[in-house]
Homo-oligomer: A and B are copies of this chain.
Amino acid sequence: MKFSIDRRYLQDRLSTAARAVSPFSPLPALSGILIQVKDDCIIFTGSDSNIAIQTTIVPGELNQLRIDSTGSACVESKYLLDIVRKLDCDTVELELMDYTLVRLTTDNGTFNINSSSADEYPVVDFTRPKDHFMLTPEDFRQIVSSTAFACSDKESKPVLSGVNFHASGNELHCSGTDTYRLARKTLELNENQSFNMTISARTLNEVMKSLSDSDPIDIYTDKRKVQFVFGKTIIQSRLLDGAFPPVERIIPTEFSSRLVVDTQELSRAIDRTNFMKNANVHLIKLDCSEEGVRIKVRAAEIGNSDEKLKDAKWEGEPMNVTLNGSYVLDALKALKGERTEFSFSGQLKPIRLMDVDNSSTLMVVVPVRSFD
């Protein structure tokens, strides 16, 4: 195995494959990157057994790839990336020596890193699933940035650690929930589709980090796995098992009152009292009437606050509602709108949040029982 390649290009491709590599992998071989050199291309593979990333390089002007001999090896991912990132050269040569060392050669020196045989690397099945749809990088980014944050980080219910993609007709609903809140993005597909799958938030975030702006994303699925294909890169992951909760049921549709706020003002006001926590939860009370909207916080051991929003409009009967401040902050941030509308259907009922100017994304936050 021997090839030479543009150093920056190599660093970029290795970084992509290394995204799947976890330092906590149960299988030692998985802390490495598998390098396979074929007659007409080289392939890097990284995996942690949940996610696998494969990226292929064919010789071209940008990468200056020159293949001298074929072969394969598996090299510790963090060492290889570290040295490639820090080399002061334009082109670097990689060669497998005596089946146990991968040698990097530059104008000034040689760097040998212990390697293991490619045979020790587990076989990753990159067979393409048969169902297919497409998303633009922009749509994909919007889905992830407006839903993945709401997924659960607890391991007790694995299906909640992912975003549910549910297509029917040409509508795609993407939902993330940890049962206390819901984030949902709806968009139109180019063609009719019918699927219902839940993809781990981690996979989605890794795909987002690896995307380029130019290539559309081909998404292939079956009942078991999903494959994201863009440019010469494949990111694949198992789908999460289990039935995703019927989140439609908790999205309120009839409302008795309505609050419109300046998103920035409310975000800053909530963030301001973030240190006033009760048992590590930042509870804020919205005190709403047509006279004005006040935010009140009380943490017995720390202090209390009472602030009036300058730019807020309430329509409906006066109401007091207590919310988890960080859930509201997350929702406002994900909605990204200048003005946000809160729609209420009664005391302690789930509240819907939407950007006033964009109805494709909605958030639901469940109030908590008041602390006084």
Contact = CB atoms under 8 A, between A and B. Distances in A.
Interface of A: 76, 78-79, 82-83, 86-88, 101, 108-114, 265, 268, 271-275, 294-295, 301-310
Contacts of A301: 114
Nearest to A81: B275
Contact of A109 (B83, B113, B114, B308): B308
A307 B275 contact: no
Nearest to A310: B108
A116 to B, nearest CB: 12
Contact of A79 (B111, B275, B295, B306): B275
Given A86-B271, A268-B86, A272-B83, A305 B114 contact: no
A112 B304 contact: yes
Contacts of A76: 302
A307 to B, nearest CB: 3
B110 A275 contact: no
B273 A111 contact: yes
Contacts of A265: 88
A273 B88 CA distance: 12
A101 B301 CA distance: 11
Contact of A273 (B83, B268, B294, B295): B83
Nearest to A299: B114
Nearest to A297: B111
Oligomer copy total: 2
Given A79-B275, A275-B82, A307-B109, A88 B268 contact: yes
28 contacts: A76-B302, A78-B275, A79-B275, A79-B303, A82-B274, A82-B275, A83-B275, A86-B268, A86-B271, A86-B272, A87-B272, A88-B268, A108-B307, A108-B308, A108-B309, A109-B294, A109-B305, A109-B306, A109-B307, A110-B305, A110-B307, A111-B272, A111-B303, A111-B305, A113-B303, A114-B301, A114-B302, A114-B303
Q: Determine the main DSSP class of A at the interface with B.
A: mixed
Given A82-B275, A268-B88, A271-B86, A101 B310 contact: no
A177 to B, nearest CB: 30
Contacts of A304: 111-112
Contacts of A79: 275, 302-303
A76 B299 CA distance: 14
Contacts of A275: 78-79, 82-83
Nearest to A308: B108
Contacts of A305: 109-112
Interface centre among A83, A294, A308 (most CB of B within 10 A): A83
Contacts of A88: 265, 268
Contact of A303 (B112, B294, B303, B310): B112
Nearest to A86: B272
Given A111-B272, A112-B303, A113-B302, 15 more contacts: A79-B303, A82-B274, A82-B275, A83-B272, A86-B268, A101-B303, A108-B307, A108-B308, A108-B310, A110-B305, A110-B306, A111-B304, A111-B305, A111-B307, A114-B301
A109 B271 CA distance: 14
A4 to B, nearest CB: 18
Contacts of A306: 109-110
A305 B309 CA distance: 63
